[in-house]
Chains A and B, each alone.
Chain A
Amino acid sequence: GAVVSQHPSRVICKSGTSVKIECRSLDFQATTMFWYRQFPKQSLMLMATSNEGSKATYEQGVEKDKFLINHASLTLSTLTVTSAHPEDSSFYICSTYRGGRTDTQYFGPGTRLTVL
């Protein structure tokens, strides 16, 4: 069964509005989650690493004031795209990290954001 869920799966919004995407770890407590962005026909680009109870770590070139990440619990991380613009339209994917023997990332089904 699914290990990671994302909600919503698809969202269309007007330019200037904010959109919140939720990422939930279903099977285990995830102290670390990751947020990726994928443009059409391109690879996944890591945006930020979300750590439970602390500030997220953003990759170079990613605006932390535009992409707000909150990891308030061990099973939930949220990504808020603030004042969205058409160029923010993309496929956003979250993942959770499970260490130990598995040492693997489990990916959510993704959220397709379209900003009109």
Chain B
Amino acid sequence: AQKVTQAQTEISVVEKEDVTLDCVYETRDTTYYLFWYKQPPSGELVFLIRRNSFDEQNEISGRYSWNFQKSTSSFNFTITASQVVDSAVYFCALSEAGGHQFYFGTGTSLTVIP
């Protein structure tokens, strides 16, 4: 069963628009970690955020914000005032405590049009 679902395969927005990338996860563990990574065309995965299951506080970092809702098993990522440099593939991932394995979503390809 898919543990991490990113239903949006591709998104295009015009520069300065806000965009939200959805991530829904599935786990039976009470302790787990959620991640977002950015993969620009160069291919290198860029770590954006790590959130543990006990911390439901939303987080903001500059133009980036994350909304973690355990009730809906979602960990959505919003980019405010998008820029062309935000164009990349974004992956959501789940790691269950006690195991090292990451479960990646299928990724959302974001294109920001100037």
> Interface of A with B (CB < 8 Å)?
32, 34, 41-44, 46, 49, 91, 93, 95, 97, 99, 103-110, 112
Contact = CB atoms under 8 A, between A and B. Distances in A.
B101 A46 contact: yes
B7 interface: no
Nearest to B103: A46
Contacts of A110: 43-45
A43 B44 contact: no
Contacts of B45: 93, 107, 110
Given A34-B101, A91-B43, A103-B95, 9 more contacts: A34-B102, A43-B105, A46-B102, A49-B100, A99-B100, A105-B100, A107-B37, A109-B44, A110-B44
Interface residues of B, number: 20
B100 A44 contact: no
Interface of B: 33, 35, 37, 42-45, 47, 50, 91, 95, 97, 100-102, 104-107, 109
Contacts of B43: 91, 93, 109-110, 112
B104 A44 contact: yes
B95 A43 contact: no
Nearest to B4: A43
Contacts of A91: 43
Contacts of A108: 44
A19 to B, nearest CB: 17
Contacts of B37: 107
Closest 9 pairs (CB-CB, A-B): A107-B45, A109-B44, A110-B43, A97-B100, A43-B106, A43-B104, A44-B104, A43-B107, A32-B100
